[in-house]
Chain A
Amino acid sequence: MQTAKVELIGISKNFPGVVALDNVDIAFQPGEVHALLGENGAGKSTLIKIMTGALSRDAGAVLINGKPVELDSPAAAQAVGIGAVYQEVNLIPSLSVAANLTLERQPRRFGFISWRKAAEDARVALKRLDVSIDVERPLGSYSLAIQHLVAIARALREDTQVLVLDEPTASLDAREVERLFAILRDLKARGLAIVFITHFLDQVYQIADRITVLRNGRRVGAGPTSALPQVELVSLMLGHELQAVEERRPPAEAKAEGEPVLSVKELGAKRVMAPFDLELRAGDVLGLAGLLGSGRTETAKLVFGASAADSGAIRVDGKPVSIRSPRQAIRLGIGFCPEDRKREGLMLELTVRENIILALQTKRGWLRLLSAAEQEKIASDMIRALGIATPDADKPVGQLSGGNQQKVILARWLVSNPRVLILDEPTRGIDVGAHAEIVALIRRLCAEGMALLVASSELDEIVAFSTRVAVLRDRRKVAEISGAKIERDDIVQAIAAP
Chain B
Amino acid sequence: MRLDPPAALQAPTRRPAAAPKFSEWRAFWPLLALALILLVDAFISPGFFTIRLVEGRLYGSLIDILYRGAPTAVVALGMAVVIGARGIDLSVGAVIAIAGAVMTELIHAGMSAPAVLLATLLVSLICGLWNGALVALLDIQPIIATLILMVAGRGVAQMIDAGTIVTFRSDFFSAISTGRLGPAPSRIVVAAAVYALTWAAMRRTALGLFVESVGANAEASRLTGIDAKFVTISTYLISGVAAGIAGVLITSDIRGSDANNAGLWMELDAILAVVLGGASLNGGRVYIFNTLIGVLIIQSLTTSILVSGLPPEYNLIVKAIVVFLCLLLQARPVRQAVSGMIWAKRT
Contacts and interface: CB of A to CB of B under 8 A. Distances in A.
Interface stretch (B7-15, B112-120, B155-163): B7-15
Interface in B194-244: 204-207, 209-210, 212-213, 215-217, 219-227
Interface string B1-42: 101111011111111111100100000000000000000000
A363 interface: yes
Contacts of B205: 366-367, 369
Contacts of B9: 370, 374, 377-378
B285 interface: yes
Given A306-B223, A385-B3, A376 B15 contact: yes
A371 B17 CA distance: 16
Nearest to B280: A349
B284 interface: yes
Interface in A321-337: 325-327, 329-331, 336
Contacts of B210: 361-362, 366
Contacts, number: 130
Contacts of A325: 222
Contacts of A357: 209
Given A347-B213, A350-B284, A394 B16 contact: yes
B204 A349 contact: no
Nearest to B283: A349
B295 to A, nearest CB: 23
Contacts of A393: 16
B68 to A, nearest CB: 33
A66 interface: no
A392 B220 CA distance: 23
SS class of chain B's interface: helix, strand, loop or mixed?
loop
Given A326-B224, A336-B223, A377 B213 contact: no
Interface string B124-135: 000000000000
B209 A361 contact: yes
A347 B22 contact: no
Interface stretch (A148-156, A174-182, A201-209, A408-416): A408-416
A346 B15 contact: no
A282 to B, nearest CB: 15
A350 B216 contact: yes
A327 B217 contact: no
A360 interface: yes
Contacts of A353: 16
B207 to A, nearest CB: 5
B204 A373 contact: no
Given A338-B223, A344-B223, A350-B216, A377 B12 contact: yes
A192 B13 CA distance: 57
Contacts of B11: 377
B213 A378 contact: no
Given A374-B12, A394-B22, A417-B5, A330 B225 contact: yes
Given A346-B220, A349-B216, A392 B13 contact: no
Interface in A388-426: 392-394, 412, 414-417
Interface in B124-182: none
A417 B18 CA distance: 28
Nearest to A357: B209
Q: Which of B12, B18, B210, B220 has the most CB of A within 10 A?
A: B220
Given A345-B220, A417-B5, 10 more contacts: A325-B222, A326-B222, A326-B225, A329-B225, A343-B217, A344-B220, A377-B12, A394-B16, A412-B224, A415-B8
Q: Which 7 A-B pairs have the closest CB atoms?
A: A373-B12, A347-B216, A349-B284, A330-B225, A362-B225, A366-B206, A369-B206
12 contacts: A326-B223, A336-B223, A347-B212, A347-B213, A348-B216, A350-B213, A361-B209, A361-B210, A376-B15, A378-B8, A392-B17, A394-B18
